[in-house]
Structure 1
Amino acid sequence: MPSYRSYSDSELSYLLTQDDEQAFTEIYHRFYGLLFIHASKRLNDDEEAKDAVQQLFESLWQKRAQVQADGNLSAYLYTAIRHRILDIFSHQEVENKYVDSLQSFIDQEQEFTDYRVREKQMKALIEKEIDSLPPKMREIFLLSRIENKSHKEIAAQLGISELTVKTQVKKALKILRSKLGLLAYVVFLFKAA
């Protein structure tokens, strides 16, 4: 009986479709090195290339009945490894998009968290400064800016003139501007009645 090394690719293909393990072993030895070099050049990663070629041969054995007995085995194997390489690239691209998307989400979450912390700090600072206003001025200011009441409504509620309300709100804004700076002042200014 002749050695499997002497068989042609098409003879080996036929024997493979007949569940011949020695034919499979010869195909493996004949093509492994060439397929590995091809995959390694494309992937620039020897480990990934080894995995791709190994998976190709596993698939070849599992699908041996589908191999064309009189087909071009070399072309079949190179086409199969090319598809595996493209799948790896496609998978890497999806992975990279996922990682980029995840990083973007993390960055946005971090920015949002930072914003919320700054917002809470600013709110606490503003509340502290409002609490330090003289009692009547604080009451008028809170009715104006927090409860959004008009000067007329505040005057009626407290039994004072609208001019007094207006003056007290202006003084409160002036004090807050000097203590908190322009940003807080602008926040309250936009709520002006």
Structure 2
Amino acid sequence: MDKYRKLSDAELLILLRSGDESAFTEIYTRFSAVLYLHARHMLHNRDDARDVIQEVFTSIWNRRLDLDLTTSLNGYLYRSVRNKVLNLIRTEKRDSVYLTEIGEALERGEYSTDEQVNYNELKRLIELEVSLLPARMREVFELSRNQQLSHAEIAALLDISDLTVKKQINKAIHILRERLDIPATLLFLYLNQK
């Protein structure tokens, strides 16, 4: 690997185009940390920044045979990160507008058939995923969600600490977000309907 550290970006790119995994690893090692900081600065979110970096490098590997850069590798990587971040921000804004519209319609009791179908499908998917949570986590989550008990009430009922209740609920929400691949705001909207 030492020999790869001494290569220029252009030389690494030539090797990458031939499918050289070590060249890819060196490119990743050379640029991933600074690109991550760049993405995190733009997004203010560690997980999203990690996802952006993973997508950029996955794309580079998948397109390695066709990569024809008109700029430096460094410039290309920064531009790729910036574009992914902007796409993510646009998607989140679109989701936010959609969620606001659905939330307002639900509050007014006015919603279209499409909105009702989407909401019912989301509800069904969330309930299915909740049923797949570990037993104790599911119990804590359902006491909080369905019976609207406070952390202290759940802790007393189950003879566990308030902190354990809080951790179980947070972990359940994290698992649901990952499994359902939905924005936190959409999950929050659903969780606050009852």
Q: Does 1:84 align with 2:84?
A: yes
Q: Does 1:42 align with 2:22?
A: no
TM-score, with normalisation over the residues of structure 1? Answer: 0.54
Partners of 1:13 and 1:68 within 8 A in 2: no
Partners of 1:4 and 1:23 within 8 A in 2: yes
Which residues in structure 2 correspond to 1:69-80 (within 5 Å)? Answer: 71-80=71-80
Q: What runs of 5+ residues in structure 1 fail to find an aligned partner?
A: 111-193
Which residues in structure 2 correspond to 1:1-193 (within 5 Å)? Answer: 3-68=3-68, 71-109=71-109
TM-score, with normalisation over the residues of structure 2? Answer: 0.54
For residue 121 of structure 1, what is the aligned residue in structure 2? none
How far the C-alpha of 1:69 sits from its partner, in A, is 6.4
Tell me, what secondary structure is at the counterpart of 1:65? coil
Partners of 1:9 and 1:73 within 8 A in 2: yes
Distance change >3 Å, CA 100–CA 21, structure 1 → 2: same
How many residues are matched?
110
For residues 84-110 of structure 1, the C-alpha deviation after alignment (integer angstroms, 9 at most, x for no partner) is 000110010011011101011101217
Partners of 1:15 and 1:23 within 8 A in 2: yes
Q: Partner letter of residue 5 of structure 1?
A: R
Partners of 2:16 and 2:23 within 8 A in 1: yes
2-structure distance, mates of 1:39, 1:108? 38
Q: Partner letter of residue 100 of structure 2?
A: D
2-structure distance, mates of 1:3, 1:69? 23
How far the C-alpha of 1:68 sits from its partner, in A, is 2.4
For residues 118-145 of structure 1, the C-alpha deviation after alignment (integer angstroms, 9 at most, x for no partner) is xxxxxxxxxxxxxxxxxxxxxxxxxxxx
Report which stretch shifted further, 67-76 or 99-108.
Answer: 67-76
1-structure distance, mates of 2:33, 2:59? 17
1-structure distance, mates of 2:69, 2:86? 26
Distance change >3 Å, CA 26–CA 91, structure 1 → 2: same
For residues 149-187 of structure 1, the C-alpha deviation after alignment (integer angstroms, 9 at most, x for no partner) is xxxxxxxxxxxxxxxxxxxxxxxxxxxxxxxxxxxxxxx
2-structure distance, mates of 1:68, 1:29? 21
Q: What runs of 5+ residues in structure 2 fail to find an aligned partner?
A: 111-194
Identity %: 34
Q: Partner letter of residue 8 of structure 1?
A: S
Q: CA RMSD in A?
A: 1.8
